[in-house]
Amino acid sequence: MSQWLNGVIDQAQGLNDYLAPMRQQALTQLKMQGWPSPRDEAWRFTRLTSVRDRISAADKQSEAFAVPEIAGLKPVDLVFVDGQLITKLSDLSLPEGLNITSLGTQEASDQEKVSRLYAQVKPQRHLFGLVNDALCQQGIYIEVAEGVSIEQPIRVLNLATADLDAHTRVLVNLNPKSRLTLIEQGSGEQASLTTAFSEYRIGEEAELEHYRFALFTGAAKQVGGSHFSLESRSKLNSTFVGYGSELSRLDVDITHAGEHANAEMNSIYLLAEGELFDLHSTIEHAVPNGTTTENARGIVGELAKAVFNGRIHIHRDAQKTLAELNNRNLLLSNSSQIFTKPELEIYADDVQCAHGATVAEIEEQALYYLLTRGIDRSKALVMLNFGFIQELVNAVPNESIREWLLPLLSDRFARMEVK
């Protein structure tokens, strides 16, 4: 067992709010599952020792923090600092049809709405998801009314500034034919642990444009997840960007709960020296006629480790499913590691599915050719090896985000060493 997990359980047992039934369920699961062994498939390549024995060192959040800007985006920002929501929701002026409530709401009707989503979309198998279920008191519930399209993006920020455990939750309920752009963004580099989980119910014919920028680095540990349930004819377009840190892990679940839904998920990870990033995605095609396209592409630097596990599960009744999954990697050094495992599990016979994974290295000859023409090494590396990442950036629907991401990622890549 883990000293840290015991602490979590003790602490959760003292929480007696309207979410207590869900917390109890999670605790039961946690006690049953226990701390994962290194053989546990979900944690085979990512060691959890640093969390197992963790004692958070700070007793309060630091006062200094900066909200990272994305030029031209002008989002509604909802800011968590070390797990505390610091945005005053009552100060926000929101358009008609958009409702944002805190998890700590005292309104019985709001509490009921939260309860209908909390721990309902996210599967119970995620260890840290259960921890979050048990302990999370800071979170946001966002609802868009039927037929309403919200133009202004909403951004939920998780900033880690002190050595604390932060547990936050985002719940999004899109009613039929509504539309929303939502960005989950997290960063921090000093020792800390953030568990940030989000659950999305995308109603019939509703559309969600989703981003998750998991930009924690250094000693900041993040273990989180984004979980989606797609009702019929709904659309999800999701882009994940991950840096690596001492421990950085995301779990994504997309469930086709209604027919003719469409999910596109693109993931990019760029890992500098010694970093770890672990992405597990599970797509459940529970009903017929769903479409999923998933691309995960990453560059792994010296002594860095990437783990990608992409599973597509097509249930017996899910005929006429179209599903594609692809993972491409570039290793910059002999000491770079990628553990990639695309998995297709198909129980229906009339489906079209494809999956694949590739791992490439730097092409020395092409690099030399560009250098002999006076092009600087970092620029040459970007020209030669960044194209497959750039393709996914170009596919980002939002122009401001595209223009923010491209230099951010190409600069990070250009600073990485090739050995």
- What SS3 class is residue 267? strand
- For another protein, give the closer residue by CB, 100 or 370: 370
Q: Are strands 76-81 and 84-85 parallel, antiparallel or unpaired?
A: antiparallel
Decide whether 109 or 365 has the Cβ nearer to another protein: 365
Query: Which residues touch 254 (CB under 8 Å, ≥6 apart)?
Result: 227, 228, 230, 236, 238, 263, 265, 281, 282, 283, 284, 292
CB 377, min distance to another protein, A: 6
Contacting residues toward another protein, per CB under 8 A = 364-366, 368-377, 379-380, 383-384, 387
Residues 6+ apart with CB under 8 A from 284: 253, 254, 255, 256, 313, 315
CB of 220 or CB of 330, closer to another protein: 330
Smallest gap from Cβ 42 to another protein, in A, equals 36
Contact 348, 315 (CB under 8 A): yes
Place of tokens 């290793």: 331
Least Å distance, CB 295 to another protein, is 16
Write the CA distances from 378 to 66, 270, 370, 371, 403, integer angstroms: 29, 15, 11, 10, 20
339 versus 368: smaller Cβ distance to another protein: 368
When the beta carbons of 14 and 374 are compared against another protein, the nearer one is 374
Q: Tell me the closest approach of the beta carbon of residue 8 to another protein, in angstroms.
A: 48
Q: 86, 80, 246, 56: which is closest to 159 by C-alpha?
A: 80
Whether residue 301 contacts residue 332, with contact meaning beta carbons closer than 8 Å, is answered with yes
Minimum gap (Å) between residue 396 Cβ and another protein: 19
Return d(Cα 59, Cα 162) in angstroms, integer: 9
Nearer to another protein, 252 or 380 (CB): 380
Choice between 339 and 369, CB closer to another protein: 369
Smallest gap, in angstroms, from Cβ of residue 375 to another protein? 5
Least distance in angstroms from the C-beta of 417 to another protein? 15
- How far apart, in Å, are the Cα atoms of 395 and each of 126, 127, 271, 365, 405? 30, 32, 21, 29, 12
